[in-house]
Homo-oligomer: A and B are copies of this chain.
Amino acid sequence: MPSSVSAQPVIILVGTQLGENIGMCARAMLNCGLDQLRLVRPRDGWPNERARATAADADCVLENAKLYDNIDDAIGDCQRVFAATARQRSLRIPGLDLREAVREIVDASPPPKTAILFGPEASGLDNETLSRADRLIHFPTNPDFPSLNLAQAVLLFGWEWRQSSSVQSAPITSSDLPATREDTNAFLTRLEQALDESQFFVAEGQRPDTIRKLRAVLTRSNSSDDDLRMLHGVLTALIKK
């Protein structure tokens, strides 16, 4: 069992509607030994009494939960981002079944700081958020009745993580970890500014789509700090004329 907090995936609940569900997620997490919870814009506000009521004795997870205004801040210090989603989307992000995804998380060495995103109860994660993910996690449930509730999806993730990580061997170290999302975003922001200055966006509606695709390309590339330094250098050279 990894004992250090850094090896533990961070559970990020994005736009959760009901406080009750946040409490049930906290309980399911602690059942599996997970206690790093982040919340992005929970609909009913935070802190939330109803969350406390359903958390059973997992209040400690709620008390330590961190609240964020937007997804980029929530994943800013993370190096790998996985997103739970029921459907395959068009972003060309590799999809894995839950057990394979957990194996990839547990086998990574040294362990990168990893976030697992779960979307709102009714709609799931939108494309804007999914474009931040390295991997989509698919839950192979009954195709005729696939829909898990939020806390059950979190439970299954936690369960698989606990089952896999309890047999994990000692990590081998390497200095070549992926860059953090904060640093990746800083590059994207700079690129967007450069494109603005070049009047790249003829129609304003083109902007979000292009940025989303660029983000997806960069995310899939799994670039390191060293790669990002090089990309900054390339961008500087290209725009200096």
Question: Which residues does A use to contact B, with CB under 8 Å?
Answer: 27-28, 30-33, 56-58, 88, 90, 92, 94-95, 97, 99, 138, 140-142, 144-149, 151-152, 155-156, 159, 162-163, 166, 169, 172-174, 176, 191, 194-195, 197-200, 210, 213-214, 216-218, 220-224, 226-227, 230-231, 233-235, 237-241
Contact = CB atoms under 8 A, between A and B. Distances in A.
Which among A27, A97, A159 has the greatest number of chain B C-beta atoms within 10 A?
Answer: A159
B32 A141 contact: yes
Nearest to A217: B221
Contact of A238 (B173, B174, B195): B195
Given A57-B145, A213-B226, 9 more contacts: A31-B141, A31-B147, A33-B145, A58-B145, A88-B172, A92-B174, A92-B222, A195-B237, A217-B221
Ranked 10 nearest A-B pairs via Cβ: A221-B221, A200-B237, A95-B172, A198-B237, A33-B142, A238-B238, A30-B145, A220-B221, A217-B221, A31-B141
